[in-house]
Structure 1
Amino acid sequence: MTQLQIAISVLCGVAALLVLVQVVRDRPVNKLIIAVLGLIEAGLVVHLVLGIHWLTGDRPDIPALTYLGYLVASLAVLPLAWGWSWAERSRSGTAVLLVGLVVVPYLFVRLHEIASSAS
């Protein structure tokens, strides 16, 4: 699952750079960014399924609700940020999407910490 997290994080970085250009230009999100967000979100759905499958294994020391919460949060962050940026068509609205793209890799770090601390 780590390779998937790295791939999604790289895509988040690419999307963050694209969004940063839009923030500097004071423009709303364009179709290319929306396409990359869709790709990231598809990867996050796969990540959720794999994470739940991993969690259902023999892992009694993992705080399951916390781990599941981070999995679901990683899936929910980008649609919420995109919705905010769509509703607020200004520089600050686009910047919210930038923050969401930074939060997703951070949630992966937390997932890794939770899994490592219980091992």
Structure 2
Amino acid sequence: MNGWVLGAVLVLSGVAGILLVVHLIRDRVVEDGMFVLLGVIELVLIGQLVAGCVALAQTDRDVSGALFVSYLIGNLCALPIGAFWSLAERNRAGTAVLLLAVLTVAALEVRLDAIWAGAV
């Protein structure tokens, strides 16, 4: 796994999380700019899925392939689910759901790094 991708996802998730907390404090709904940021995170996650599968196929490390790929796919699905829920719930609760989706992506990213390192 690439450390740059891990760092990029964590930084982008952190920025999105801070902006969502500000929206929650101000009791504002999520604006279109936030969905653009989530789209950028999603593009990085798509690249990570492809690169992760290629790296898994080429490695001779002791990595649980099914677990690793399931985390990659789950990480890819978290933001769209949170975004659709947030769009359906256009109030403070929708913003909170999106914040939880962003935090889920960050947590899954840290776990993916641990799985790749062999700490199952």
Smaller-chain TM-score bracket: over 0.9
The corresponding residue for 1:73 is: 74
Deviant stretches of 4+, over 3 Å:
none
Shift of 1:28: 1.5
The corresponding residue for 1:93 is: 94
The corresponding residue for 1:62 is: 63
Number of residue pairs matched by the alignment:
118
Is 1:2 matched with 2:12? no
**Residue type at the aligned position of 1:68:** V
The corresponding residue for 1:46 is: 47
Percentage of identical aligned residues: 39
CA distance in 2, matches of 1:64, 1:30: 38
Shift of 1:59: 2.9
What RMSD, in angstroms, separates the aligned Cα atoms of the two structures? 1.3
Shift of 1:83: 0.8
TM-score (norm 1): 0.92
Shift of 1:104: 1.0
**Residue type at the aligned position of 2:105:** V
Shift of 1:60: 5.8
Is 1:14 matched with 2:15? yes
**What secondary structure sits across from 2:58 in the alignment?**
coil
Question: Residues 9 and 109 of structure 2 are in contact (CA less than 8 Å); yes or no, is this contact kept in structure 1?
Answer: no
CA distance in 1, matches of 2:55, 2:114: 15
CA distance in 2, matches of 1:59, 1:86: 43
Unaligned runs of 5+ in 1: none
Question: Residues 82 and 98 of structure 2 are in contact (CA less than 8 Å); yes or no, is this contact kept in structure 1?
Answer: yes
TM-score (norm 2): 0.91
The corresponding residue for 2:112 is: 111
CA distance in 1, matches of 2:29, 2:22: 10
Could you report, residue by residue, the CA deviation over 1:9-57 in whole angstroms, capped at 9, with x for unpaired residues? 1011111111111112222110111111111111111111110111111
CA distance in 1, matches of 2:14, 2:110: 15
Unaligned runs of 5+ in 2: none
**Residue type at the aligned position of 1:87:** A
